[in-house]
Amino acid sequence: MLPPVLQRLRIPVVAAPMFIVSGPELVIAQCKAGIVGSFPALNAREDRGDTPLLDIWLTRISEELDRHNQANPDQPAAPFAVNQIVHRSNARLQRDIEICHRHRVPIWITSLGARPEVNEAAHDCGGIALHDVINNKFARKAIDKGADGLIAVAAGAGGHAGAQSPFALIQEIRDWFDGPLLLSGAIATGRAVLAAQAMGADLAYIGSPFIATEEANADPAYKQMICDSGAMDIVTSSQFTGVSGNYLAPSIRNAGLDPDNLDSAEASSMNFSDASGKPKAWSQIYGAGQGIGAIHEILPVSARIDRLAQEYQQARESLLA
């Protein structure tokens, strides 16, 4: 049984947090359209004045969703999630946890490290904690440390992808874990959302398709490259952040590098201390997963989710028939 906060979604989808790309506009549009919207806390970067930008974003998101719910009691917005990068170089983590706790963030997504105190903060304000993992060993550790649910990040996902087949990952985790389980990686159609459920996941976790939306905080050239590219244009490299990630080859060429001859970098070079990661990664070198071959046009978020919902419904009907 899913926790109440993950029930009653229009379709079983959580929009994945994306560095730089996910901001309040994207999150609000995703939630209003009926799926969980999310953003990394580190995306709220500037701290001008006394109030941290994260505080301002959370107030804005809550107020806009409240207004939507009052005007649309029959179609309330889905809840939102905030992603915490639990890495030793993230100097803001404690402050961001306090802000999220004060705003009673309903869903906490942790990546790059599982720590009991983050899960405790989520629980203390009535929220749930989902931890993203790339293998079964990390999955067990995350649950031991108090996460409520898991995001299985399979091969082909955008950002710091896993290396394992989604079948292998979900089968191994479902062998012992019957709590909330999300599947991440290359899911871009309603049919693929249904396939994730057939495989044993409760929900699909979708990132790259939302880059090609009007509300995404991404350069128009990045959005267009998502529409023009397919799985063969995605290269895996650790050169840009120190951890293996998936990137668009044309953006690597545009930056003057050869996507077929990239170096590898040490994991110890990963650094979130200035909240910007490596300067080139994500801003000039565009991240994306292998599922983008199914994305052909830049759409408003509501239209992208309408399409997913329609495809999901049709897939269910045709399989049941």
Residues that bind ligand FMN (CB under 6 A): 16-19, 21, 40, 83, 111, 132, 153, 157-159, 184-187, 205-208, 282, 287-289, 291
Give the nearest distance from C-beta 320 to ligand FMN in angstroms: 26
Give the nearest distance from C-beta 42 to ligand FMN in angstroms: 7
Give the nearest distance from C-beta 59 to ligand FMN in angstroms: 22
As a whole number of Å, the CA-based R_g of the chain is: 18
CA distance 154 to 134: 6
DSSP state of 158: S
Q: Which is nearer to ligand FMN, 121 or 153 (CB)?
A: 153
- Tell me if residue 14 falls in helix, strand or coil: strand
Q: Which is nearer to ligand FMN, 21 or 114 (CB)?
A: 21
Q: Which is nearer to ligand FMN, 28 or 295 (CB)?
A: 295
**Residue 206 zone, left/alpha/beta (φ > 0; ψ -120 to 50; rest):** beta
Q: Which long-range contacts (CB under 8 A, 24 or more apart) does 36-40 make?
A: 36/6, 36/9, 36/78, 36/79, 36/80, 36/81, 36/107, 37/78, 37/80, 37/81, 38/14, 38/80, 38/81, 38/82, 38/83, 38/107, 38/109, 39/82, 39/83, 40/82, 40/83, 40/84, 40/85
Q: Which is nearer to ligand FMN, 65 or 134 (CB)?
A: 134
Q: Which is nearer to ligand FMN, 87 or 174 (CB)?
A: 87
Residue type, 273: S
User: Phi and psi of 189, rounded to 5°?
Assistant: -135, 165
DSSP state of 142: H
Give the nearest distance from C-beta 71 to ligand FMN in angstroms: 30
CA distance 41 to 95: 10
Residue type, 29: A
Q: In degrees to the nearest 10, what's the CA dihedral of 237, 241, 242, 243?
A: -60
Q: Which is nearer to ligand FMN, 53 or 288 (CB)?
A: 288
Give the nearest distance from C-beta 91 to ligand FMN in angstroms: 16
Q: Report the sign of the C-alpha dihedral through residues 172, 175, 177, 182, in that order.
A: positive
Give the nearest distance from C-beta 30 to ligand FMN in angstroms: 13
Q: Which is nearer to ligand FMN, 73 or 220 (CB)?
A: 220
Q: Which is nearer to ligand FMN, 232 or 321 (CB)?
A: 232
Instruction: Please report where in the chains the tokens 């990963």 appear, as a residue.
Output: 270
Give the nearest distance from C-beta 16 to ligand FMN in angstroms: 3
Give the nearest distance from C-beta 103 to ligand FMN in angstroms: 19
CA distance 137 to 169: 10
